[in-house]
Structure 1
């Protein structure tokens, strides 16, 4: 079976992301391990949380990210004099997402780890081409079996990443965030939308503060919303981490995904990550 349309690529990634989030929550002990069951995905045993609320939250979040990957956005060419030569339709593109990250916080709401899924290598296409097969002679055409084999390797590394990371403190929480491409506004929110909100400045790319480019949005889970204490923090100061652990680069035709884990300075250098209260 070939994965030969953009929509196919998005579907494969969405399925992988769902499994990956469950795996991260298990491996990093965000929820009790007794609340997970073992299933097989990608020919590999993985853990899925049993709680319906957790499962629904993950499913809804992944579906929202999938929707964003399929959303039209208005693309402004870098060379300004070309603008007049392009119709509005020509400047509409799909794939507004640069990266997705699972962010783990201490009880005091300090970012400790980010598991990053880099989608910058995914194709950017006109809206009419989401279901258009890639040309047969095009290197973008790839087999599902090849992608699944590489995702199996990524899942194996992710499932054992805990052995190469220092332990987390108790009572951590997490959220899932999206970093959007330059010039893209964050998703519109209405009464039917998931509550995407801008992430803290320290987790936003530097350009986001000034121009909105690359703006990141996130969803909180497993936490009671309380006002967070204000602290001085540079824009983007918690991006990149003090230590990075590569997980896997998956490259098969048009499917290009890189996964890594960032450990923050607060975690690596043993700064206070516990609640002072």
Structure 2
């Protein structure tokens, strides 16, 4: 009898960059929906990663995320992207309420010498599913955002990279003494993404 083997898929640098940048787009949409940054009726359901994902129908938000996704893919291919952070802030005060942090570890050998890696697409999808499910369940432990909020995306890149004209230098927008919840990670064998969310602790009642 022959042994059963899991089919391995060839992952190229371009393919890996596409997987990670697309993941961020869907993760961002899910965060914006789950955290109520925009009205729930401005999102539509679509199938992705074997799950029902919600994505924005707002044209401006869509265009903004599409432009970000495209730029992230370019940086990922160059091996220059270290971290992506989605920051949720108070509309009124700009105080940072949450930071959704995605740290990227890149196989520099593939960037510098070319080549590819092998990993099952299904395995990558299962790992991404686990993160998406954690984002959905985040409403069970994150404090309610009881005021209108907005969001921004920060990208941490290597220092030798010039800032594109449609991006601007920004401060880190940190939270003092945050609570931190580590999320699952996923790995294409070229890019590994570690995820966590940090958030502002609720004030104790006097």
Unaligned runs of 5+ in 1: 71-93, 135-139, 204-237, 272-277
Match of 2:38 among 31, 34, 41: 31
Which of 41, 46, 58 is matched with 1:51 structurally?
A: 58
TM-score (norm 1): 0.65
- Give the Cα–Cα distance (whole angstroms) in 2 for the partners of residues 241 and 37 of structure 1: 36
Aligned length: 196
Higher strand share: 2
State yes or no: 1:160 paired with 2:137.
Answer: yes
In the alignment, structure 2 segments of 5+ residues that lack a partner are 1-7
Q: Does the CA contact (< 8 Å) of 2:84 and 2:154 recur in 1?
A: yes
CA displacement, residues 73-92 of structure 1 (integer Å, 9 cap, x when unaligned): xxxxxxxxxxxxxxxxxxxx
Equivalents in 2 of 1:7, 1:61: separation in Å?
A: 16
Cα distance, 1:118–1:156 mapped onto 2, change above 3 Å? same
How far residue 143 of structure 1 moved from its aligned partner, in angstroms, is 1.7
Q: What is the match of residue 103 of structure 2?
A: 118
Deviation at 1:3, TM superposition (A): 3.8
Q: Aligned partners of 2:176 and 2:83: how far apart in 1?
A: 13
Q: For 2:89 and 2:139, how far apart are their aligned partners in 1?
A: 16
| Structure with the larger RCO, 1 or 2 (CA within 8 Å, 6+ apart) | 2
Contact 2:103-2:195 within 8 A present in 1 as well? yes
Contact 1:123-1:254 within 8 A present in 2 as well? yes
Please identify the structure whose Cα radius of gyration is greater. 1
User: What is the 5 A alignment of 1:140-151?
Assistant: 140-151=117-128
